[in-house]
Structure 1
Amino acid sequence: MATESATTALSVNVNKIAVLRNSRGGIEPDVVRAAHTCLAAGAQGITVHPRPDRRHITAEDVVALVGLTAQFQVELNIEGNPFAPPRVGYPGLMDLCAQLRPAQVTLVPDSDDQLTSDHGFDFERDSVRLAPLVRQLKAWDCRVSLFVDAGCTGLPTAVAMGADRVELYTGPYAAAWPAGDPQDTLGLFRETALRAGQLGLGVNAGHDLSQDNLGLFLAEVPNVQEVSIGHALISEALYDGLETTVRRYLDITTDIRRR
């Protein structure tokens, strides 16, 4: 099969900067300053996932990042569970989006007690509740992406609800990587991405992607428009510096030879 050059946008998830800050209180390390460094190094966007327990990114951080991303003319992607009710310190995902109108909203079915997102939506169960929320977000001019598992059979439902993109949960691929045999999972991701494209859905990807495993994923899985990377990128930056690490990711996401 012929190959062609392609570029995938890198959106840096800065949640882990806020985790470190929150461990001591105060303002250091500064989330906005870290995001500024990422964008100055060439990242094409910033991702945040404010949670109701305020364990990392807070609603106040998101407000500050809106101004920064506007300054750089890049996209802010807000992730979250639209079903999680508001509470003290957390206005709820929909209210936050109503106020800030981010370029992209990624809906994720995480529960309050989850350490991190680890599965996609069950559209058979969730579509009735999701559909009006997708419509509302689009009325606010937000692109809507839905978090899905590789092999998801509900992509036509995502289209019917009006979603613009799906984000492939890449945890299973990353988990298979250390064993040196990720091809079985890659086949499922490739099939899902192709199916999404045929249905008119854009494709994003994220979770546990790293400098080690990202290149193969992008070479094997077609049509990936954006990756959001946080944990690995921030971890690697502890050794090599934030600017250097972002530039290394951009080397991977730019001009990858695609199948």
Structure 2
Amino acid sequence: MSDEKPTEPEAALARLLDIMARLRDPQSGCPWDVQQTMQSLTRYTIEEAYEAADAIERGAPDEIKDELGDLLFQIVFYAQIGNESKQFDFTDIANAISDKMVRRHPHVFGEATTDDAGLAEQWEAIKAQERKNAPKALLDSVPTGLPALMYAQKIQKKCARVGFDWPDVAPVADKVREEVAEIQAELDAPKRDQQALEAEIGDALFAMVNLARHCNVDADAALRRASNKFARRFAVVEAMAKDEKGGLEAHSLDELEQLWQRVKHKETSA
């Protein structure tokens, strides 16, 4: 294989497809790649998607390029396995999504016209038409294997589209307070019921996702940013603790809290 890099998208994709076919060759390929199935690949696909999202969130162009390449490789991997089993190949995948995008955008590829406000309704109407032969239950089309926050958002949006939703944000905020109070009630019980406590915390998290949705906030992205913020601040606390006494373990909780407040104040006042 030539080491010269293609300069056109078609040639670059052809090169990648050829690499994938060689990796999967039963005689001369990579043993690990040959052993993989669609089922075994799914966890890697999810990991690659999150790594791409992380690179995008951090605004790191070189990493974004690499992570998107890893994600594309996953698609090519599935296409190769599908081709080997005579189910589909990469061309089928590309044509399927192209057909879907053309079908779902009649205002671009057809003669239909709509304004911004009508786009969501048009999109859902077309999807409903596509699903006319699918299971009839409203939530059947939502994959249960989605990450928990995303799954909660999806089923809430589905229910909202048929009118099963709070009319505004106020009762949603009330629901969050109600669920938190129920957690406290479980914590205050003479004998803690761990299963009941888990259920109440789950209800509170579900209510928070609903509150985020009503506030036009993506719950998954909001939690990711909050986690990244915590990790960034804690790294500074750790460095300060190391400078002062050699490490985190040498500090009391109160001392660490003081360092945390210093880092937080410096960051928020910058």
Q: Give the TM-score, by structure 2 length.
A: 0.23
TM-score w.r.t. length of structure 1: 0.24
Computing the radius of gyration from Cα coordinates, the structure with the larger value is 2
The structure carrying a bigger strand percent of its residues is 1
Higher RCO by CA contacts (8 Å cutoff, separation 6 or greater): 1
